[in-house]
Chain A
């Protein structure tokens, strides 16, 4: 008995020592991830912090490389029909979910049907509306899901038919809305398939733990087809929205990658952590919307005066401190399928004093002077940076005869007011879902009539020009990418020449990356999949 106890104790100690040595040799990535994920289900998520987790454990037909460009994922290759409307994907051999079930074409068909099922209530389902009948199914017009343009030709072949040729479709497939879900588990557990007891993966990592408010933990998936090249053994995606606290924890060595930081700490980081801050152009535009439904902002001259008197050069470097580039156009530089010259109006090259003088003239012609100012309410959602910018722009508008009343509200209230048209000038921003000029230009399309009401979608300023709408419609069906880019350039010029809104700056991504990490490449989508990273201990 005594010997047995001793042997048991020795065996236990040995096992513990082995576990500890394994743990010690494991390469663990500590990733700061901002907000708490709302879900791990690719059909239920909507934020970049969720994308980091979901994109590491599920892989679509195509996936992203280090530059966030589309590369083969679960599909090793694909064919595109000559008219650009039919995509045929060929799945890799041996791909499987972590419970051993093969990943088949049926999982993709099932996933797209689930995405479009109104009962799933997926927020971003509309990103896959280019697929044939997708919108009609999502809106409940078609109830037969087999009408969706996604078919399994056999276990290893997926065919997707589009409504019309869509040049950015491969880009759209990198989005999590196009990820497969395990049909066998969803049928068994419903939405609870992502519970930690049931969840499986087909990507480079698999989720093992989720502690709301603190972290999500995943470990390397040894069954992943490219597992041999995945150098990180486990990842902790930490929940921490307080940016100052996150920077402290990075400095304490508790985080390897910081995915955001307080803008006013940028200089400090540059001075004290040289080379670790990655502030790079990001596909997104920060802008002010002008309510063109009501006078006087329906007057293009007043919109022009407001726009040209904004000194954008000081916003990024001085007011925010992170060097965001001034924006004069609507499509961020570096956007795919948009070759050609960036829109830059003539007035942007004039000395600022001349611009102010011209703005004064325009305002005076409309009857407004500093003595008889135009009073405008400027709405923004609660945030130090939005406030700083609003205060600065209010000061820029004062000399031209505009008196600004600042009004801040929490995000839900702010956007509710913008959608209801209850504002004069409002702050907004747009980060591109996929790299294509139409993704931002669509914001300026005329709304659609629905019964008694007009649905303006994200076009808060209610800008409307039939010529602009026609150019966008023509571009949507144009197969020749050069011609399509030309149409989109014309649309952008038209809207910006009419001062449809006031673009202020192009967003930047703000990461801080430990020198221990290699493989982190800056890219305009700010997507950095863990499979490409390496950490030196």
Chain B
């Protein structure tokens, strides 16, 4: 298993280099640049800015400058947010995004698994119908709409929770954003768990266990939960990636200091440094999560063997 993990880590290096290269050149090929705003800058000012950020050099030189800096752990400057460089922005924003995503992940996974099991053992009874409704709401209502509705109900009308912001941030500031993030995720997990559990409960070995006189709780605990978790585990890696990368709307609407919104804003502003920096960050997260899920999968399913 250790050898497999090492091989996977080493194979990620060329993948990362290719991804950075492709991203670098695609970004530069896109029309418009970081200084193409509403106002044309005088040529002298534009020339000064381009020289300041090495944009006056041939593209291939710019690429090697970037790679050289990257190898030295420098993600370069932001061309639009001048007060911080890319590494500083990531250091400030990413822990917040990670905290929010992990909180949502733990809550969503716990609720999703429990609700899925509950629905499976109560198939076509009222707990199942309630779950189906909650799942529908979670999946169908887009997160920006859910954010606005929760903000309106709990922040404006009831005034139970802060409607946004992070001034003197307390746990209460996280309740609405985490709910918005966790809900669709919990809905998907519960749907997966429900389907998988129903399938497992219909298998011969579960029927055999029941016919031996084992109670439902014991059947679930000993024979059903572990195999039923397999499809859910496959989803957890992409699910966490989704939570980390999909927090954009939530951060935007609630005015939170995460990194998610920088990615999109930077892409629109052609802020090459931030786009590349966040892409690299997310790429490593996705590669790491995929590896983690593969290892977890092997642990859960002895049929999976790695050479």
Contacts and interface: CB of A to CB of B under 8 A. Distances in A.
Contacts of A249: 151, 155, 163-165, 255
B81 A212 contact: yes
A122 to B, nearest CB: 7
B269 interface: yes
A213 B38 contact: no
B270 interface: yes
Contacts of A39: 81-83
A125 interface: yes
B246 interface: no
B88 to A, nearest CB: 9
Contact of A248 (B35, B89, B151, B256): B151
A138 B253 contact: no
Interface residues of B, number: 57
A118 B165 contact: no
A410 B268 contact: yes
A457 B42 contact: yes
A212 B43 contact: no
B26 to A, nearest CB: 14
Q: Which DSSP category, helix, strand, loop or mixed, fits chain A's interface?
A: mixed
Contacts of B40: 415, 419, 456-458
Interface stretch (A239-247, A481-489, A490-498): A239-247
Given A126-B45, A213-B261, A412-B269, A244 B36 contact: no
A254 interface: yes
Contacts of B152: 248
Given A214-B256, A244-B148, A419-B36, A118 B83 contact: no
B39 interface: yes
Given A214-B165, A252-B163, A140 B44 contact: yes
A19 interface: no
A6 interface: no
A254 B82 contact: no
B83 to A, nearest CB: 4
Nearest to B44: A139
Interface string A188-220: 000100100000000000000011111101000
B37 interface: yes
Interface string A34-60: 001111110010100000000000000
Given A240-B255, A412-B33, A428-B38, A254 B164 contact: yes
Contacts of B1: none
B195 interface: no
A415 B32 contact: yes
A135 interface: yes
14 contacts: A39-B82, A119-B48, A139-B44, A212-B257, A215-B255, A240-B255, A245-B253, A248-B152, A248-B164, A249-B164, A411-B38, A412-B34, A415-B36, A429-B38
Interface of B: 30-45, 47-49, 51-52, 80-84, 89, 92-93, 147-148, 151-152, 155-156, 159, 162-167, 251-259, 261-262, 265, 268-270
Interface of A: 30, 36-41, 44, 46, 118-123, 125-126, 135, 138-140, 191, 194, 210-215, 217, 236, 238-242, 244-245, 248-249, 251-254, 410-417, 419, 428-429, 450, 455-458
